[in-house]
């Protein structure tokens, strides 16, 4: 075979292989992600959810236009994730990027921004530098996901807002996939599981958990139930106990004990102390321990809720009268710690701050087979007040001396997991004809010693619930609701929380080293490649010259 025929055969084979590989690729989809943090890969949970999607979904992202480098990174992460999601959804998900700032007419731009806000789209004011000019404009790190008549807003900017913007945006990049999949779940979810809010002990009223209940209703059937032997608790995946103030009977405690032993999950929002906040209007109030008749059950589960209150320099505000014609002012109130420190658990990963009110500390005790994971911590600048105690409003008029707040970090929330043993083992059953199950299925309990974290305020003018976690005093939306929803999802064994585990390493450049080695690397990148290319050309020229000289001879 001469050289010409050989080249034709070789070209034909190459073209044929390429066509064959393309045919295979269209039938058998696969992608390779060689990054160490699996940055470009969707989780198996996301893939499973997307394969079940049987409707067209449209995603409009408003993070576009002139952006800072950090926001550009977030935009790029959103686009990359949407590309993956679109592929795995078999084309059921379509997306586009829109720049709200591209509208030149100022009035029309304001109207458009107002419409977006009404739909739940959030924005931020940011300083933008462009060719030496500094301007301030609205940035919309948000999206609107729609299908049919449903629209779900998505906020991409997450994480601790007190952290540097680079770290906060890195936390936001880590949860892009979760934010998108949570919105898709909400858009295409049919409730089948049940959650019960326990009542009968003067727990928080329905209006005080109305905002949370409305949010949970997008995913679960939410009921209010009493603990009695006529209720079928087996259908409830989790029970929520929100601020009980009356004692449990032995029968009720037995029902609760058996529910956990048989695999039921609990969210316990407990206030160890009885504190009448309304009495503070008179200048002072007293805090005394509640008698809930649950301490022995808590001890069996491996925790002790202490009868105290944590004061923290890192705290929220309280509105008080100044004594000047009934005028009101905001003062720092150390009894309202702002929580920024979290444990290494998926439900609290990349959360913004949580506003607490009069929290207590938690101690752990030995409980065989139970794994205890701390979830939330105070700051190091704390002071513990033991009950009984008097809380005087005049404390707000005194300076908080840092030297008085040096008792350290304390946990106020724990996750308990494992096979719980019954408190009623080797004891007669309080319910007739009901045997005692001593050890059963694995279960989960989240306990928090501040019930106000789950309570929404009520607008006194409209008598409507204020969004959970929204602080009227500072006009700031804390992450209280996000934490509670994550906790419920974890207790209900929802796989979607696994997506929050993704970690993306932040690899910032060493600015000092960059300045020191700037010239060196410019030379390496700009001069050495052309020199190497020149040597390669010269070597190839002489190699071809010698080759053809041999042919001629």
Taking only the tens place, the pLDDT of each residue in 430-441 is: 988 888 988 788
Q: Which residues contact 96 (CB under 8 A, 6 or more apart)?
A: 59, 60, 61
Give the mean pLDDT of 411-421: 96
Q: Between 323 and 421, name the one with better pLDDT.
A: 421
pLDDT band at 35 (very low <50, low <70, confident <90, very high): low
Residue 332 domain flag: yes
Query: Same domain for 53 and 19?
Result: no
321 and 328 Cβ atoms separated by less than 8 Å: yes
Report if residue 523 sits inside a domain.
no
Supply the pLDDT for residue 25: 59
Comparing C-alpha atoms, which of 167, 144, 166, 159 is closest to residue 68? Answer: 166
Q: Which of 187, 210, 244 is the last residue of a domain?
A: 187
Contact 361, 348 (CB under 8 A): no
Q: Examine residue 372 and state whether it is found in any structural domain, yes or no.
A: yes
Domain that holds residue 17: 1-30
Q: 285: which 2 tokens?
A: 């109030």
Greater confidence (396 vs 118) lies with 118
8 A C-beta contact, residue 385 and residue 359 = no
DSSP 452-479: GGGPPPB-TTT--BPPTTEETTTTEE-S
Q: Which helix (H) or strand (E) holds 9?
A: helix 3-27
Domain final residue, candidates 457, 483, 499 = 499
Lowest mean pLDDT among 182-196, 211-225, 344-358: 182-196
**More confident: 526 or 96:** 96
Is the pLDDT at 506 greater than 50? The verdict is: no
pLDDT, mean of residues 468-487? 92
Of the ranges 87-96, 128-137, 510-519, the best mean pLDDT one = 87-96
Does residue 424 form part of some domain? yes
Residue 354 within any structural domain of the chain: yes
Answer with the residue of higher pLDDT: 343 or 398.
343
Q: Are residues 425 and 397 in the same domain?
A: yes
Residue among 497, 499, 502 nearest 486 (CA): 497
Distance CA 175, CA 502 (A): 8
Asked whether residue 252 falls in the same domain as residue 362, the answer is: yes
Specify if 44 maps to a domain: yes
Contacts of residue 223, defined as CB under 8 A and 6 or more positions apart, other chains included, come to: 194, 195, 196, 197, 236
Residue with tokens 């301490």: 295
Element (H, E) at 547: helix 528-552
**Range with the poorest average pLDDT among 204-218, 306-320, 412-426:** 306-320
pLDDT score at 38: 55
Q: Looking at the domain assignment, is residue 518 inside a domain? A: no
Is 175 in the same domain as 247? no
Token digits of residue 412: 């106020």
Same-domain pairing of 179 and 219: no
Same domain, 294 and 260: yes
What integer is the mean pLDDT of 348-352? 89
> Do residues 86 and 11 both lie within one domain?
no
CATH number for the domain harbouring residue 322: 3.40.50
Q: Which of 30-39, 81-90, 416-425, 530-539 has the highest mean pLDDT?
A: 416-425
CATH classification at residue 44: 3.40.30.10
125 and 200 co-located in one domain: no
How sure is the predictor about 188, in pLDDT bands with cuts at 50, 70 and 90?
confident
| Mean pLDDT of the region 71-89 | 88
Check residue 398 and give its pLDDT.
Answer: 66
Total domains present in the chain: 3
User: What pLDDT shows up at residue 444?
Assistant: 96
**Tokens 């805090």 belong to residue:** 287
- Residue 505 scores a pLDDT above 70: no
Measure the CA angle with vertex 246, ends 242 and 250; round to 5°. Answer: 100
Residue that terminates a domain, selected from 163, 187, 211: 187
Q: What percent of the chain has pLDDT over 90?
A: 39
**Which pLDDT band, with edges at 50, 70 and 90, does 526 fall under?**
confident
What are the residues facing 449 on neighbouring strands? none
Indicate whether 179 and 259 sit together in one domain: no
Q: How many residues does the chain have?
A: 553
Residue 392, pLDDT score: 84
The long-range contacts involving 281-287, CB below 8 angstroms and separated by at least 24 positions, are 281/321, 283/392, 283/393, 283/394, 284/390, 284/391, 284/392, 284/393, 284/394, 285/390, 285/391, 286/388, 286/389, 286/390, 286/391, 287/358, 287/385, 287/387, 287/388, 287/389, 287/390, 287/391
Residue 552 banded pLDDT, cuts 50, 70, 90: low
**Which of 40-54, 76-90, 129-143, 346-360 has the lowest average pLDDT?**
129-143
Residue 34: is its pLDDT beyond 50?
no
The alpha helices in 469-510, defined as continuous H runs, are: 480-491
Helix (H, G, I), strand (E, B) or coil at 197: strand
Question: Residues 122-139: what's their mean pLDDT?
Answer: 72
Residue 441 lies in a domain: yes
Same domain, 166 and 204: no
Same domain, 13 and 58: no
Question: 3-class SS at 18?
Answer: helix
More confident site: 515 or 430: 430
Q: Alpha-carbon distance 494 to 357, whole Å?
A: 29
Residues 347 and 398: beta-carbon distance below 8 Å: no
Residues 146 and 198 both lie in one domain: no
DSSP string of 130-178, one letter each residue: ETTEEEEEEE--EEEEEETTEEEEEE---S-TTS-HHHHHHHHHHTHHH
Q: Find which of 73-77, 158-162, 546-550 is predicted with most confidence, using mean pLDDT.
A: 73-77
Give the rounded distance of the alpha carbon of 103 from its chain centre.
Answer: 33
Q: What share of the chain is helix, strand, coil (3-state, %, to 5)?
A: 35, 25, 35
pLDDT computed for residue 548 by the predictor: 67
Residue 190 has pLDDT above 80, yes or no: no
CA angle 433–438–444, rounded 5-degree value: 115
Q: Kindly tell me if the per-residue pLDDT of 468 is higher than 60.
A: yes
Token pair 């109130």 is found at 333
* 257 CB-near residues (< 8 Å, 6+ apart): 297, 300, 422, 423, 424
Q: What is the pLDDT of residue 494?
A: 87
């Amino acid at each position: 075979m001469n050289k010409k025929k050989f080249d034709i055969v070789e070209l034909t084979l190459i073209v044929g292989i390429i066509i064959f590989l393309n045919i295979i690729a269209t039938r058998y989809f696969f992608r390779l992600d060689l990054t160490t943090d699996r940055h470009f890969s969707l989780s198996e949970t996301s893939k499973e959810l997307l394969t079940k999607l049987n409707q067209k979904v449209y995603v409009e992202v408003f993070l576009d236009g002139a952006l800072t480098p950090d926001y550009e990174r977030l935009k790029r992460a959103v686009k990359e994730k949407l590309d993956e999601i679109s592929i795995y959804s078999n084309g059921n998900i379509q997306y586009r990027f829109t720049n709200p700032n591209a509208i030149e007419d100022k009035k029309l731009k304001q109207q458009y921004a107002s419409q977006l806000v009404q739909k739940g789209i959030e924005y931020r004011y940011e300083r933008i530098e462009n060719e030496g000019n500094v301007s301030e404009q609205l940035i919309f790190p948000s999206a609107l996901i729609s299908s049919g008549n449903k629209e779900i807003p998505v906020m991409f900017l997450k994480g601790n807002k007190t952290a540097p913007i680079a770290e906060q945006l890195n936390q936001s990049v880590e949860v892009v996939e979760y934010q998108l999949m949570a919105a898709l779940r909400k858009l295409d979810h049919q409730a089948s599981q049940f959650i019960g809010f326990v009542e009968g002990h003067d727990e928080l009223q329905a209006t005080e958990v109305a905002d949370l209940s409305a949010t949970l209703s997008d995913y679960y059937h939410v009921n209010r139930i009493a603990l009695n032997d006529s209720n079928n608790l087996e259908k409830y995946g989790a029970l929520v106990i929100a601020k009980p103030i009356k004692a449990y009977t032995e029968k009720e405690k037995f029902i609760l004990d058996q529910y956990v032993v048989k695999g039921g999950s609990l969210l316990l929002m407990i206030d160890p102390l009885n504190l009448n906040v309304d009495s503070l209007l008179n200048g002072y109030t007293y805090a005394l321990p509640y008698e809930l008749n649950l301490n022995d059950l808590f001890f069996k589960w491996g925790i002790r809720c202490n009868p105290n209150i944590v004061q923290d320099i890192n705290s929220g505000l309280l509105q008080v009268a100044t004594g000047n014609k009934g005028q009101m002012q905001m003062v720092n109130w150390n009894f309202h710690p702002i929580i920024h420190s979290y444990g290494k658990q998926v439900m609290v990963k990349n959360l913004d701050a949580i506003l607490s009110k009069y929290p207590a500390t938690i101690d752990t005790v030995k409980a065989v087979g139970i794994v205890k994971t701390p979830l939330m911590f105070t700051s190091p600048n704390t002071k513990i007040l033991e009950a009984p105690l008097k809380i005087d409003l005049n404390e707000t008029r005194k300076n908080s001396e840092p030297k008085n707040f040096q008792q350290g970090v304390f946990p106020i929330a724990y996750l308990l997991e494992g096979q719980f043993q019954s408190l009623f083992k080797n004891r007669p059953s309080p319910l007739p004809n009901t045997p005692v199950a001593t050890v059963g299925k694995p279960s989960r309990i989240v306990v928090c010693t501040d019930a106000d974290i789950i309570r929404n305020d009520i607008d006194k003018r409209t008598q409507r619930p204020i969004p959970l976690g929204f602080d009227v005093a500072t006009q700031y939306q804390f992450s209280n609701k996000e934490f509670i929803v994550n906790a419920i999802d974890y207790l209900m064994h929802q796989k979607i929380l696994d997506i929050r585990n993704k970690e993306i390493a932040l690899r910032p450049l060493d600015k000092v080293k960059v300045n020191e080695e700037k010239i060196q690397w410019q030379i390496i990148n700009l001069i050495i490649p052309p020199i190497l290319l020149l040597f390669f050309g010269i070597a190839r020229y002489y190699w071809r010259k010698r080759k053809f000289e041999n042919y001629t001879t």
